[in-house]
Structure 1
Amino acid sequence: MKKYRPVFLLSLILSTSGISAQEMTLPLWPNGIPNSKESDEKEVSETGDINWIRNVQDPDIAVFLPTMQSATGQAVVICPGGGYGGLAYDWEGTDIAKWLNSKGIAGIVLKYRLPNSESVEVSYKAPLQDVQRAMRLVRANAEKWNVHQNSVGIMGFSAGGHLASTLGTHFDHEDVFKKDAIDSLSARPDFMALVYPVITMNSEFTHQGSRNSLLGENPSKELVKEFSNELQVQNNMPPTFIIHATDDDAVPVENALLFYKALKDQNIKAEMHIYPEGGHGFSLGLGKGYLETWPDRLHDWLKKMNESQGEPSKN
């Protein structure tokens, strides 16, 4: 009987099982999750039109890598939305990572802890801790994944857009947990892409469900201000790309407008596209007329970001 060499055997197993050798999942906190406590809560994954994940217990990143031949050196950490009560994991996560791969960009889907989880001690701290760690984990593996350490960005949808913008405004937020070597790396994103994002916690324009999940029903004025990210913009923030629809009846377009103005006031390079129609939660916009070309605008912008870092564009 013919003996297969280990590498060939691994490739055969992956190809026949439908699993790409370019995909892997890594835990964020292999040595203990900070800001957590024991509970009987179980993680739930509901599969229907959208793969909806609730009660995240073990936060991780799913890594989708393009072929080395097409890799641009860029990577994007993706934060799915879900009102901080769940994650639209494929619709605003893995689907986006695969699209990025088609452009030669590594897509890193973050499964972050949700603030209303019984396993979280301080609600509003957990998502930020997880996204900071995800950025550092990508940079720690940059050489292995054919990624440039200075070309790692963040992308978020809806409440995931709030988390992404929180990283952009709070990336240097002090860590209060036991650190390891990875935590010495920078968590600052090199660029941000925000898609129909929740930005403000001000009751006039916020998404109330996201605010309640993150801060509770009666948060202090200080907490509302801290997580109203249009009020936290500083001049050391990364360039930002924003997409929103005027007729969004879940997250008012004022969220995007307020953040863009704050970026402009601090001389942060920003590009914003406001579509007259599209509603909320349109993901890649497939089947929504010319709205489905918005990813092309993002791709153009990402190429420009890469060129500004001194890296030639391959796509």
Structure 2
Amino acid sequence: MPLHRRSLLAITPALAAALSFGRLSHAYSRPAPMDEIRLWPGYAPGGEGVTVTPEVVERSTDPDYNDRIAKHTRDPLLTVVRPVQSNGVSMLLIPGGGYRWAVVDKEGMDCARVFAVMGYTCYVLRYRLPADGWAAGPDAPLQDAQRALRLVRAHAATEGRSADRTVVLGASAGGHLAGLLGARSDATYAAVDAADQHSHRPDALILLYPVATLTDPYAHSGSRRELLGESASPDQIAAYSLEQMDWSGAAPTFLLHAMDDTAVPVENALMLSATLRQAGVPVEVHLFEEGGHGFGIRLIEGRPAAVWPDLVRAWLGRRGL
């Protein structure tokens, strides 16, 4: 059932603002052409053994909104959604997809439009997938995320925004990738140009229903399988479990999860929040009674979690972002 202006106005002030600014003239209508930025000046690194064919699949049967997924990406990119009036802050959005594909709209373009209305210059990442034969294996998506964040900072500097006012929002498996971006201080690829002089760690981190642990019984088994394969060792699993990583010096982090999430159990956020607190990382956690998994913006009409964009805006605002 398509959403209409009246129902959207009931969701959250953030969406009401989006409508009032004319950014969503009809609920989740197809976007106008946006700027796109290729991540790598040539081929993405380590692709000599990659033979997959890229594909973008439209899952929606409703002409009022898109629900695309990107499979087997070989030329990762950023799609830029610009605000009418910039607040000087850049936002990198990393959608989910269980590392099997990367969502384009639900946790990408839909969220970007809302945050662009708030003044954020938004960049939606379409990243490579770890099981497609890249030499870096499970680090291939992280290579793209690190490169993307550096490019966002470089573009901010040339467009009059401060490079050190850059936040990252990740959802589900994209939350796991964003978490790796926040926790890991090591560079995963050799510098290719001047953009790589910028930091690859966020200034603030927002994780929506994130895949955090890869250990049973709370792991999202599909994400673990796509990232590490069917027979990952305990050491590999531990190395990519966010709650077992060293978060010292990481950016302030915002966690949001629904208690009734049956795909990625809420324990993922709880375990990670405990690790963050122990590491001395400022953390704010919001748990909602209902909302399920993967709700993004469009799927939370009338649910408690519908307020999440405004909670994020308030949290960022307290940090000057």
Per the shorter chain, which TM-score range?
A: 0.7 to 0.9
What's the RMSD between the two structures over aligned residues?
Answer: 1.7
Instruction: Quote the Cα distance in structure 1 between the aligned partners of 2:113 and 2:158.
Output: 19
Deviations 1:276-307 (A, max 9, x none): 11111111253142321111111111111226
Amino acid at match of 1:188: R
Deviations 1:216-248 (A, max 9, x none): 111122221111111113220000001101110
Equivalent position to 1:127, from 122, 129, 141: 141
The corresponding residue for 1:137 is 151
- State how many pairs are aligned: 285
Amino acid at match of 1:153: V
Instruction: Quote the Cα distance in structure 1 between the aligned partners of 2:189 and 2:145.
Output: 15
The corresponding residue for 2:47 is 36
Deviations 1:241-271 (A, max 9, x none): 0110111000010000011111111121111
The corresponding residue for 1:98 is 113
Instruction: Quote the Cα distance in structure 1 between the aligned partners of 2:73 and 2:296.
Output: 22
Deviations 1:174-218 (A, max 9, x none): 334353222221111000000000001112211000000001111
SS at match of 2:164: coil
1:196 has 2:213 as partner? no
SS at match of 1:62: strand
Compute the displacement of 1:117 (Å): 1.4
Q: Which runs of 5+ in 1 are unaligned?
A: 1-17, 308-315
Instruction: Quote the Cα distance in structure 1 between the aligned partners of 2:72 and 2:146.
Output: 20
Compute the displacement of 1:146 (Å): 3.7
Farther-moved stretch of structure 1 (254-263 vs 179-188): 179-188
Q: Which runs of 4+ in 1 moved over 6 A?
A: none
Change over 3 Å in CA distance of 1:178–1:153 after alignment to 2: closer
Amino acid at match of 2:314: D
Compute the displacement of 1:56 (Å): 0.6
Instruction: Quote the Cα distance in structure 1 between the aligned partners of 2:163 and 2:136.
Output: 31
Q: Is the 8 A contact 2:288 2:304 kept in 1?
A: no
Instruction: Quote the Cα distance in structure 2 between the aligned partners of 1:57 and 1:174.
Output: 20
Amino acid at match of 1:213: E
The corresponding residue for 1:82 is 97
Instruction: Quote the Cα distance in structure 2 between the aligned partners of 1:80 and 1:163.
Output: 9
Q: Is the 8 A contact 2:91 2:120 kept in 1?
A: yes
* Structure index of larger Rg: 1
Instruction: Quote the Cα distance in structure 1 between the aligned partners of 2:194 and 2:252.
Output: 27
Instruction: Quote the Cα distance in structure 2 between the aligned partners of 1:283 and 1:166.
Output: 21
TM-score (norm 2): 0.85
1:156 has 2:170 as partner? yes
SS at match of 2:78: strand
Amino acid at match of 1:133: R
The corresponding residue for 2:71 is 54
The corresponding residue for 2:83 is 66
Q: Is the 8 A contact 1:65 1:145 kept in 2?
A: no
Change over 3 Å in CA distance of 1:97–1:146 after alignment to 2: farther
Q: Is the 8 A contact 1:278 1:288 kept in 2?
A: no
Q: Quote the sequence identity (%).
A: 36
Instruction: Quote the Cα distance in structure 1 between the aligned partners of 2:147 and 2:182.
Output: 14
Instruction: Quote the Cα distance in structure 1 between the aligned partners of 2:167 and 2:246.
Output: 17
Q: Which runs of 5+ in 2 are unaligned?
A: 1-30, 61-66
Which runs of structure 2 are paired with 1:244-283 in the superposition (5 Å)? 244-283=257-296
Deviations 1:88-130 (A, max 9, x none): 2100101111111010001110000011114x12320100100
Instruction: Quote the Cα distance in structure 2 between the aligned partners of 1:224 and 1:103.
Output: 38
Q: Is the 8 A contact 1:246 1:253 kept in 2?
A: yes
Instruction: Quote the Cα distance in structure 2 between the aligned partners of 1:217 and 1:281.
Output: 24
Amino acid at match of 1:54: K
Deviations 1:59-114 (A, max 9, x none): 011111112xx311111111110000011210010111111101000111000001
Q: Is the 8 A contact 2:44 2:74 kept in 1?
A: no
The corresponding residue for 1:226 is 239
Q: Is the 8 A contact 2:49 2:135 kept in 1?
A: no
Farther-moved stretch of structure 1 (285-294 vs 107-116): 285-294
